[in-house]
Structure 1
Amino acid sequence: MTTHILRHGETHYSRQYLVNGDPTRAIPLSKDGVLSCGLVWHTLPLRQVSTWLSSEFPRARQTASRLMGVPEPGPVVDARLNELDYGDFEGGPFLKYASWLQQHGGRCRPPGACESQREGIERMLVGLQAAVEHPSPRVIVCHGLLVSVLHWYRERSAGDPMPLFFPEAPYVQPISFEDEDLLRCVKSLLADIAAEPESDPGPRCDAENSRAEEELDVATFDRVNHPHAQRDLPDA
């Protein structure tokens, strides 16, 4: 009973490091994103997959359809696997959102958003938990943040707190779990989030402080942009 979880292919938004958390925006895969879908055939036994799942986003559904090899029937769509809601940062540079996130923390909702980063991660994890109810083997096409969190879980040391910024997830490269391990992972991560303080130190999450215009400091900029740094990149 196995689940293979992967990030969708590249889009022109993700190439430019722009954020997209609105599934109604038609942002398709780039040419490179389409080509990358063909590489997974050398990694996974795709013809043996019993259940395909994806988020609501066009880029995730397009990736799943290309991996399936046929346009219909499409994947099972689960909105719990959606990308974060970026609120007023929608369509803008990731660095502006990252600056705001650094200032306000993972439990604060961005202006105009319906969820915080931590609430979004919790939602995605619940979607993963529900996926095991479908026939196995399964392939889940989702977004970079969820895949990054799963990689962090596997690589972390005991007692490590969940960071704000995670290593960037590669496009269309699966991370695989047996059901028991996946459920254990989800339970552990949900417990980690629940154990965090209810509010983060620093500025309040009110409208006056919501738009973080100051630049990221050099260390943070390197952490977000360096190819081997920790980063929670936009997932468009």
Structure 2
Amino acid sequence: MTTLILLRHGRSSANAAGVLAGRSPGVELDETGRAQAERVVERLAPLPIAEIVTSPMTRCQQTVAPLAAARGLAPVLDERFNEVDYGSWTGGTLKSLAKEPLWKVVQAHPSAAVFPEGEGLAGMQARAVAAVRAHAARIAVEHGPNALWLACSHGDVIKAVLADALATHLDNFQRIIVDTCSVSVVHYTETRPFVARVNDLGDGPGALAALIPPKPRRRRAAKRSSDAVVGGST
């Protein structure tokens, strides 16, 4: 039931400064981030992307802007893909926050982490996964079961979605790496997701060509199987 391309926003001024931007207004892509966003257009060139959904944060909207312009698509803003509400941690340096007692919880037991005056990581995962499922179901109806769609979000949010797709506990999500402007890919079927890419930074228009949906042999669109390959694949 559709394939989701998870795109983390490009490098921001806060990323470069080692600051936890959170939902601070006015945080934009830096020069490196803008270049990364431009390269996304070429990297995803072969893929027939049906829709672009994005976090409302400026850095995410700036990341998808070149791709949306190239495809003639209007990005859909969804608050459920927003950055974690880090509460009073927002704007703090990672160096100073690492000294806080909560930091150890975030690292070792993130499902129990609730940021002061903010939200918990478990709540963030619930809203993000709900958004993925809702959009996947809608896009399958509107564009067909093999449709590709892209969601641009933030590192912790994408890691949480991937943890759910991998059927691993949120306490393991810190083991997943999601770099700026990386691509991760999940195929959603009726019974289970299949994780096809994690933290893909490959350049060139052919790097993700394997994700292009096959043309159906019959008039009715072919359904992606929920069964995993046994004995490896060729």
Same fold (TM over 0.5): yes
Contact kept in structure 2, 1:153 and 1:185, CA below 8 Å: no
Structure number with the higher strand fraction is: 2
Q: 1:101 aligns with which of 94, 100, 103?
A: 103
Q: 2:153 aligns with which of 135, 142, 145?
A: 142
Q: Which runs of 5+ in 2 are unaligned?
A: 195-234
Deviations 1:124-178 (A, max 9, x none): 1111112202243211111111323455567x7x877733634431222211122
Give 1:28 deviation, angstroms: 1.1
Q: 1:127 aligns with which of 114, 128, 131?
A: 131
Give 1:120 deviation, angstroms: 1.2
Partner residue in 2 for 1:2: 3
Note closer, same or farther for the CA distance 1:94–1:109 as it changes in structure 2 (3 Å cut). Answer: same
1:178 aligns with 2:187: yes
Letter in 1 for 2:187: E
- Identity of aligned pairs, percent? 19
Alignment of 1:1-236 (within 5 A): 1-22=2-23, 25-45=25-45, 48-69=48-69, 74-98=74-98, 99=100, 100-103=102-105, 105-106=109-110, 107-113=112-118, 115-132=119-136, 133-134=138-139, 135=143, 136-151=147-162, 162-163=171-172, 165-180=174-189, 184-185=192-193
Deviations 1:70-94 (A, max 9, x none): 6986310110011100101111112
Q: Which runs of 5+ in 1 are unaligned?
A: 187-236
Contact kept in structure 1, 2:129 and 2:161, CA below 8 Å: no
SS in structure 1 opposite 2:172? coil
Contact kept in structure 2, 1:65 and 1:71, CA below 8 Å: no
Structure 1 length normalisation: TM-score? 0.65
CA distance in 1, matches of 2:157, 2:192: 16
Give 1:118 deviation, angstroms: 1.5
Contact kept in structure 1, 2:3 and 2:187, CA below 8 Å: yes
SS in structure 2 opposite 1:169? coil
Give 1:12 deviation, angstroms: 0.9
CA distance in 1, matches of 2:28, 2:35: 13
CA distance in 2, matches of 1:169, 1:59: 16
CA distance in 1, matches of 2:27, 2:184: 24
